[in-house]
A and B are shown apart, each in its own frame.
Chain A
């Protein structure tokens, strides 16, 4: 088993939480893992990415080679397209459709969405709306994690345990909200895959 994943978004959108949950689940599943994160300057509202590599064999490079990524999971639509050169010819693009506009020259969102929809293997959902309906906009990242989960080859239980693990010291209520967010994302992907 080998999965190379790029997590993308804007600094502050919570991609490191997604990485931490998948990472914990993978380690508990007995897999090897490498996960390169971005800290520092670009965390201030710039574009951020994390390379997440899971494998049943030992992993050499912390960075995924270009054109070898199985899955781009993006919390922001334009950011999902920034990493296309990294995506393998049979890879999946999984993205939130709610734009995060903090630059004056953000492109026409319709153009961004049609580009995503033109991509043969994609899942596009408004994670913000789904999270809001569940009562916590801040869980949009976990909705995206849920949407990516059918492609991860990780047992559901490992992922749910990892979510519990990450949120448990923030209270039972947050654990529940996030598990619901996860399930909502998962459901969307199952229905639209």
Chain B
């Protein structure tokens, strides 16, 4: 048997990129995209090839840096979770106008069912919005192959390409055949050095170029081997299945023979001619998409006066959440076996802070310090510490997007909620908190900010935080007064002292920063184990 690598979908993308001549990967961690960059960081081959892979401060800086590498003629990849694309949206949309030079792929990993996210937005809408080609692999091998195709296509059409995956593919392993090996580009500039200057006069021209490329993108989708029309005898129904939905469809036919015509869509813009074919020949259409009803909505149109279109909008499939084989079976009117019910006494087991976590001690102190005030004053952010929203701590009142704790606290204080408190992790602070802190200083806002420094990006598995060792200097540099910056040690034995410091700063009529600093116990354990191993060798 030929040798196969057993890889997660994320890892298949990374290996595909290494094999396709990648020169740099730019990313900020975020489930389910993190393992793409981590794979490149661990890869010996990538090190030998000198592929750069350090983490970026956030998705916007990652996207822009990748665009810079593309400008210099090399192949670059920017990776993020779906909400990261919101942060990177400005350079992302504009990169469609500048176009690319060296191949540029943006990977956005969506999280239908919100396993680890604030929402389940569908990145394909961003690709459509930017008017760039989108690739959506149905399996791990296709993920690997699409990276090569995507880089070539990006260079041929001088356009960034969006690669969209969902959690299930990102975090599922399968055997991968490697079949490409390409040297990195030598680099060099594009002939048109004005291409990247989006002054209105140039941007208008560039935008027209983008519009003019649309028919070619569509033609590529129609000819793409990733899009496939599969004939079926029974024309009562036609099935359009996008990306991973194809697998759930096939799972329902053990012999892999679907009686109905099927259109597999894994490359966009929409392959209009093939869609037209299946639409015309079938009585009804069922659309299967692991995400928002993008294709379905377009097929239905505003007035829905055409053929019956079944999917998420008419209730054939639930409007929200991830697809699975059973949901697809139900949509096909097929029966499936059910196991026993879950016994009623089985309790839920929500995630919780680890035993000994520094955040726990910080929030115990904060809870006590806040007990003199009415409830609802603690704005928070995204990271392990968001779990302090749950019992028994129940400390925080918000978690919206990275960085929003500080800025929401400013707004709330201006709305009369004084004092307001912000709690933000060290990595989240580096990602999007610094500019908010600058606003607070300029406003002289009466807020107390706790920068929870556990010396790592814990929630996503312990990556290096880009503000490591720099937090006090950043706060001073932004203009926080020295006497209102405190570093405390979140340990129960310092509880009284910590409560006192927080209480004192709560009454200060200006910006205070308290930095509870103690390493995440998970990364500490990992470090200790590694150290121990070195000793025993």
Q: Which residues of A contact B (CB under 8 A)?
A: 10-11, 23-24, 27, 30, 32-47, 51, 59-69, 78-79, 81-82, 84-89, 91, 102-108, 111-112, 115, 170-171
Contacts and interface: CB of A to CB of B under 8 A. Distances in A.
A138 B387 CA distance: 26
Given A35-B172, A38-B171, A85 B341 contact: yes
B8 A40 contact: no
B247 A81 contact: no
Contacts of B6: 23-24, 27, 33
Given A65-B326, A78-B346, 4 more contacts: A10-B349, A45-B351, A66-B324, A106-B347
A45 to B, nearest CB: 5
Contacts of A30: 1
B349 A63 contact: no
| Chain B, interface SS category | loop
Contacts of B350: 46, 103
B340 interface: yes
Nearest to A72: B339
A30 B325 CA distance: 25
A39 B171 contact: yes
B244 interface: yes
B361 interface: no
B129 interface: no
Contacts of A66: 324-326, 336-339
Nearest to B347: A105
A46 B352 contact: yes
Given A67-B338, A84-B339, A34 B172 contact: yes
Contacts of A115: 343
Contacts of B248: 60-61, 63
A127 to B, nearest CB: 19
Nearest to B384: A44
A23 B173 contact: yes
Nearest to B5: A27
A59 B247 CA distance: 9
7 tightest Cβ-Cβ pairs between the two chains A and B: A40-B116, A40-B31, A67-B337, A46-B351, A61-B251, A60-B250, A62-B172
Residue of B35, B173, B353, B459 with highest tally of chain A CB at under 10 A: B173
A80 B156 CA distance: 52
Interface of B: 1, 4, 6, 8, 31-32, 34-35, 115-116, 168-169, 171-175, 244, 247-252, 256, 324-326, 329, 336-343, 345-354, 384, 387, 391, 459-461, 533, 536
Contacts of A24: 6
Contacts of A103: 347-350, 352
A45 B461 CA distance: 14
Nearest to A86: B339
B342 A35 contact: no
Given A61-B250, A87-B340, A41 B345 contact: no
Given A39-B32, A81-B346, A89 B337 contact: yes
Contact of A84 (B35, B252, B341): B341
A106 B345 CA distance: 9
A41 to B, nearest CB: 4
Contact of B349 (A27, A37, A41, A46): A46
A171 B354 CA distance: 28
Contacts of B461: 39
A44 B341 contact: no
